[in-house]
Amino acid sequence: MQPLGDGSPMGLLWNFMGFSDAYCIFTGAAEMVGGLLLVARRTTTLGALVSIGVMSNVVMLNFRFDTPVKLFSLNLLGMAGFLVLPDARRLADFLLFHRPLQHAPLPRLFARRWLHFMAIVVRSLFFAWTTWFVLKQGFDMRRQYGDLARKPPLYGSWDVEVFEVDGELVPEESVARTDRWKRLRIGRYRLSIERGDGSTRILFAQPSPKGDRLTLQLESDPGHPIPFKCELAGSDALTLDGTLDGRPLHVELARSATSGYLLLDRGFHWINETPFNRRGAFQAFLS
């Protein structure tokens, strides 16, 4: 619903990454495999090489899409490169010069064999527990905040049909009134107000599980929540009554259609006889 040109570069990257669950799983698994291979000394070089490939892509995305973790990702890439240095000559002999490689045995962690064995067991158990903890934490966050979280009845996009301020009806044709709402998007924890002049206001919001109230919270005044009374008529009609910025509001809304978007309905095709590249009529004309 938002014009592509109105988004930020970071927003474009996040939407691109989040569009495909399979791609998110693939990139996340690649990062995780690279990290797990670093645990054992026998696979450290392989893990560093995998991490270099993965993190090079991450660094480029962060730099070119203006994502604010540039230095952190660059540090991880530098650390992966540092771990490759001890085997850099052997890698060059194998990949570039096709020379035979000499065996490089790993020294024991401890002189006593049983201490060496116990160190490996403790290390393996620690990283197994760490891996399980991180995966479980991520899954729990997905169920609480992500796509597996329960959606409240008010969740979705709503078109404003009736908008009253201070008891005065503000018609949709009143383009001079910049305070008139055009569309309302209600999420699990945030709310987006699209005004008639095209501007957007985002607020923290907590819809009730029953859909009978909506509590807003201003970032400048988090200690004073703003309650709105809600009334759902079926699943497609919503009425809001409350006070925002010191002005009483009465808003009647209708649920926006979420189907009919080519981006969401296109699906997957094994074979494309011709390239299916839709970028908008104006861009197609320019090209």
> pLDDT tens, 76-90?
999 999 999 999 999
In whole angstroms, what separates CA 48 from the centre of its chain?
Answer: 26
- Asked whether the beta carbons of 50 and 34 are under 8 A apart, the reply is yes
Supply the pTM of this predicted model. 0.79
pLDDT at 82: 97
Tell me how far apart the alpha carbons of residues 226 and 242 are, in angstroms, rounded to a whole number. Answer: 8
Give the CATH class of 156-255.
mainly beta
Contacts of 14 (CB under 8 A, 6+ apart): none
Task: Please count the other Cβ atoms lying within 10 Å of the Cβ belonging to residue 157.
Answer: 17
DSSP-derived pairing of the beta strands 237-244 and 181-186: unpaired
Tell me how far apart the alpha carbons of residues 58 and 64 are, in angstroms, rounded to a whole number. Answer: 10
Per-residue H/E/C for 65-97: CCCCCHHHHHHHHHHHHHHHHHHHHHHHHHHHH
- Asked whether the beta carbons of 127 and 39 are under 8 A apart, the reply is yes
- Asked whether the beta carbons of 187 and 181 are under 8 A apart, the reply is no
Question: pLDDT (tens digit, 0 to 9) for every residue of the chain, 287 residues total?
Answer: 677 788 899 999 998 998 898 999 999 999 999 999 999 999 999 999 999 999 999 999 999 999 999 999 999 999 999 999 999 999 999 999 999 988 888 888 899 999 999 999 999 999 999 999 999 999 999 898 888 888 889 998 999 999 999 988 988 776 566 778 999 999 888 899 988 887 888 899 988 888 899 999 887 777 889 999 999 988 889 999 999 988 999 999 999 877 677 888 888 889 988 888 876 544 544 54
Q: How far is CA 134 from CA 74, 110, 126, 190, in A?
A: 22, 30, 12, 26
To 5 degrees, how large is the angle CA 136–CA 141–CA 146? Answer: 130
Tell me how far apart the alpha carbons of residues 251 and 256 are, in angstroms, rounded to a whole number. Answer: 15
Tell me how far apart the alpha carbons of residues 136 and 128 are, in angstroms, rounded to a whole number. Answer: 12
Q: Where in the chain is the domain with CATH 2.40.128.20?
A: 156-255
Reported as type and span, the H/E element at residue 108 is none
Tell me how far apart the alpha carbons of residues 92 and 207 are, in angstroms, rounded to a whole number. Answer: 59
Residue with tokens 């320019």, as numbered in its chain: 286
pLDDT at 222: 77
- Exposed / middle / buried, residue 243 (Cβ in 10 Å: 0-12, 13-18, 19+): exposed
| Nearest alpha carbon to residue 253 among 176, 179, 194 | 194
